[in-house]
Structure 1
Amino acid sequence: MTSLLTNNAAMTALTTLKNINQSLDTTSNRVSTGQRVSAASDNAAYWSIATTVRTDNASLGAVKDSLGLGSSSVDTAYNGLNSILSDLQNMRAKLQTALTPGVDRTKVQVEIAAIQSKMKATADSSNSSGQNWLSVNSATSNTAYQATQSVVGGFARAANGNITFSQIGVNVQSIKLYDTNSTSVNTAATSAQFTATTALTGTTGFRPGAAAGTAGTADFSGTNEVSFSLAVADGTSTTASIVVNKAALQSAAKNLAKVTTDEFLSAINNQITASAIGANRVQASLDTSGRLTFKTVATGSAVTLSLTNATASTGNTLIDVGFSTTVPSSGSNANGVGTAAGTTMAQGILDTANNTYTNTGGGSYSIANFNISTLVGTNGDLDLGLIISAVDKAIGKVTDAGTKLGANKTQIDGQKTFVDTLMKANDRTIGILVDADVEEESTKLKALQTQQQLAVQALSIANSASQNVLSLFR
């Protein structure tokens, strides 16, 4: 039925055209922005997740920048150390030359003084981003000084939304070469601890060089056993027998024939907790070289800890874990003593005056200020020999400082690579959630444009129907 008041065909065509236009707007937006979810109204869940990941990526970008600054600071300090190490080696050569009979030590001292001045200038100029880790002022009045410089190394968001930042610590106190603070500083009391001489995975018990799949693990499925006694004194003296064998590992190891170092450590700590020593007094762990280490929780000079290998239980075979390959009848295989809190000189490796002209009576000196021009005769030769030894020790300490900075550099660079990889993974996650398939959307856009043209034509035809009816009355 055709009606002059209600044009059903036109209304249908108009509704269709509106829907097509709405779809066309959505598709056009996706093509122009490249996103299928560009607002919360598009998909609230995906938009929320993508926004959170973008926020995390911004934080990771800041972490990456921090790591870059930290890497620059480490590089600067390392380059300074490396230059000073060469200077020290040159200084030692000059000193050895000064031992030669007939050499004018006054002239040699002029060269040495120039080296000493150059080393100080190198340390003073080893600045990066306003920080100097080689030439410092550790006085309490200098609030800007930090014994450990922390570099932000990571960012994590917990399931409850809490955010934490991990830190990479650079121990400036252990690498500084010069310190204007000449007073003593307090040192904390230390725990009693000792470390095995061999890495756990390098002992025969953990099968070094064994077939693939078994190397670095121990076989406790048979009669192998680790048995020793621990004696700890931390206000209370306690001795306990620790036995790790098949029975003790039943709950700690997944495969008794391939017990890992982590499972082995867990079994030892469980045995300590269950023993007369009890919990929270002694802890077993692995050091950075993989050696078995025992350490007390308590600190102080009265705290002691010792380990003595014991004989195996009846029918079992004792295996070594790095403390001794034999079973002594008496005596400790390893022991440690804590130290009390005290004081130490605040100055650095090169300016600490912890050496004396022992034979010539000239007082104390440091590597930064010793003078050989007055060292003559037999006693002078003896003191010159001591100076050479002191320079050798300084070379060793500066080398150790370089090693520590090298380790920090490796850690920071590794973290930079990880953060960069993580940011790229987050970008891919965001893309999966919100990016539009441009090929699909472009095809859809073309189809909708065609549908729009047809809908306009259909609406035009529907609107002309009433005109056809009116023509009947002409």
Structure 2
Amino acid sequence: MTSLLTNISAMTALTTLKGINQQLDATSNRVSTGQRVSTASDNAAYWSIATTVRTDNASLSAVKDSLGLGSSAVDTAYNGLNSILSDMQNLRAKLQTALQPGVDRAKVQTEIKAIQDKMKATADSSTSSGQNWLSVDSSASNTSYQATQNVVAGFSRASSGVVTFSKIGVDVNAIKLYDVNASSITTAATAGQVFGTTSLTGTAAFRPADAVVANRGTADFSGTNEVKFNLSLGDGSTAQITLNRANLSSAAADLSRVTTDEFLNAINNQIAADTAATPLAGKVAASLDSAGRLTFTTTATGAGTNAQVTVLNVAATAGNTLIDVGFGAGTPAATDARTGAGTAAGTTTGKGILDTVDAGTTFSLATINIGSLVGTAGDTALQNIITQVEKAIAKVTDAGTKLGASKTQIDGQKTFVDTLMKANDRTIGILVDADIEEESTKLKALQTQQQLAVQALSIANSGSQTVLSLFR
């Protein structure tokens, strides 16, 4: 039926064209934005989830920045600490040089003062983003000081919407080297320790530069070489330690290449087997310190005589050659006695590792002055200073270990946060991103349909003109 009042075909064609245009607008929007869900009206649930994940990623980005700043601060402190540790080792070498007869200690003090100034300058300049963890001012009036520096490492959102931030704490009090403020701190009792002068594998006995590479770091006890010294505690417990071909045969796999482990085991076995009236068994042990030097440490701690150990070289067995393992073989025995005593627990005025006055002394590493030390009393005082430096080196090494652990934790968290952000990006993409290939194909099809709908509408509109022509 054809009507002049109602053109049903045109109305149908127009409705179809409007539908095609709406689809065409939506598809064009997806192609131009790259998203199939760009507003809440597109898909309320997906839009809400994607918005929350984007917010999480923004927070994670801030966490990543915080970790970057924290990593930079830890790196700065560690590099400064490592540089100062080298200076302290140099300081120890200067002090050991000053023990030699005839050395002008006033001139050595000039070098020591230069090292002290360099260490202080290094600590003062170890600043990152306005933070210095090596040279601090812990005074109550300094409100910017924090004993523990927290680095934001992550966050979590509970089902209730409450956000909790996780943190990595760096104990500045445990690593600070200098502190303007002095406070009363409790000191733990320490053990008695005696150290060799050189890394065990650096002594001539262990052939560090041998032409045969396999010999380096091992000692030859297949001939007449011998290590012999008296080991005693302040309570009178004494044992003579002798290492030669005869008593190493059961401890070493190859007497011509005795390793440091075999050497230490042989010493500790002799200590454990001591059957004297006041035996050393269980009271002292041999080991290598962080510098690789032969070290004897008492089991007991404190200022008592059982926490005082002495090593004294003695003459070699007839027919054998006394060799040096860091305790000065070849020098008169009486001049090579070394004693290390523990200290009692108590309280002291604490500052940083380098400017705290050690218990039983009147100076810190920052104020060491050996220029006026003379005579036997001066030698004893100098040995005590060397012991103090050894303890400080151990503390600084421990501080470096703490910073290294914090750096590892921060770097690991940075990697995790970066991975988490990428995973969130993928989640957002799955929810809201458009398939451009599919949408492009659909766009082309809708453009073709639009053209056909326009033509259909044109044909439908021309139908009434055909009917009117019948009345002409």
Partner of residue 458 from structure 2, selected from 435, 460, 469:
460
Aligned twin of 2:366: 368
Aligned partners of 2:115 and 2:347: how far apart in 1? 31
Q: CA offsets, 1:224-267, max 9 Å, x none?
A: xxxxxxxxxxxxxxxxxxxxxxxxxxxxxxxxxxxxxxxxxxxx
> Aligned-pair distance for 1:183?
3.1
For the pair 1:348 / 2:352, whether they are aligned, the reply is yes
Q: Is the Cα contact below 8 Å between 1:105 and 1:373 reproduced in 2?
A: yes
TM-score for both structures, normalised by structure 1: 0.65
What does 1:314-333 correspond to in 2, within 5 Å? none
Aligned partners of 1:186 and 1:127: how far apart in 2? 29
Q: 1:469 to 1:134 in 2, by over 3 A?
A: same
Aligned twin of 1:133: 133
The residue matched to 2:154 in structure 1 has which SS? Answer: strand
The residue matched to 2:367 in structure 1 has which SS? Answer: coil
> Aligned-pair distance for 1:84?
0.2
| Superposed structure 1 runs of 4+ greater than 3 Å apart | 342-346
What does 1:380-399 correspond to in 2, within 5 Å? 380-399=378-397
For the pair 1:473 / 2:447, whether they are aligned, the reply is no
Aligned twin of 2:96: 96
Aligned twin of 1:317: none
Aligned twin of 1:301: none
> Aligned-pair distance for 1:161?
1.2
What does 1:30-429 correspond to in 2, within 5 Å? 30-184=30-184, 345-357=349-361, 364-429=362-427
Aligned partners of 1:186 and 1:166: how far apart in 2? 31
Question: Size of the alignment, in residue pairs?
Answer: 315
2:349 alignment partner AA: M
Aligned partners of 1:448 and 1:365: how far apart in 2? 89
Q: CA offsets, 1:390-448, max 9 Å, x none?
A: 00110000000000000000000000000000000000000000000000000000000
Aligned partners of 2:185 and 2:25: how far apart in 1? 72
1:379 alignment partner AA: A
Aligned partners of 2:178 and 2:441: how far apart in 1? 70
Aligned partners of 2:348 and 2:104: how far apart in 1? 37
RMSD: 1.5
The residue matched to 1:345 in structure 2 has which SS? Answer: strand
Aligned partners of 2:67 and 2:53: how far apart in 1? 20
Aligned partners of 1:25 and 1:344: how far apart in 2? 79
Q: CA offsets, 1:270-325, max 9 Å, x none?
A: xxxxxxxxxxxxxxxxxxxxxxxxxxxxxxxxxxxxxxxxxxxxxxxxxxxxxxxx
Aligned partners of 1:57 and 1:185: how far apart in 2? 44
Aligned partners of 1:445 and 1:153: how far apart in 2? 46
Q: Is the Cα contact below 8 Å between 2:53 and 2:428 reproduced in 1?
A: yes
Q: 1:10 to 1:185 in 2, by over 3 A?
A: farther
Q: 1:90 to 1:413 in 2, by over 3 A?
A: same
TM-score for both structures, normalised by structure 2: 0.65
Q: Is the Cα contact below 8 Å between 2:358 and 2:388 reproduced in 1?
A: no
Aligned twin of 2:28: 28
Aligned partners of 1:400 and 1:372: how far apart in 2? 27
Aligned partners of 2:386 and 2:394: how far apart in 1? 12
> Aligned-pair distance for 1:343?
6.8
Q: CA offsets, 1:61-116, max 9 Å, x none?
A: 00000000000000000000000000000000000000000000000000000000
* Alignment gaps of 5+ in structure 2: 188-345
> Aligned-pair distance for 1:5?
1.1
> Aligned-pair distance for 1:346?
3.8
Aligned twin of 1:447: 445
> Aligned-pair distance for 1:159?
1.5
> Aligned-pair distance for 1:124?
0.3
> Aligned-pair distance for 1:157?
1.0
1:176 alignment partner AA: K
* Alignment gaps of 5+ in structure 1: 188-341, 358-363
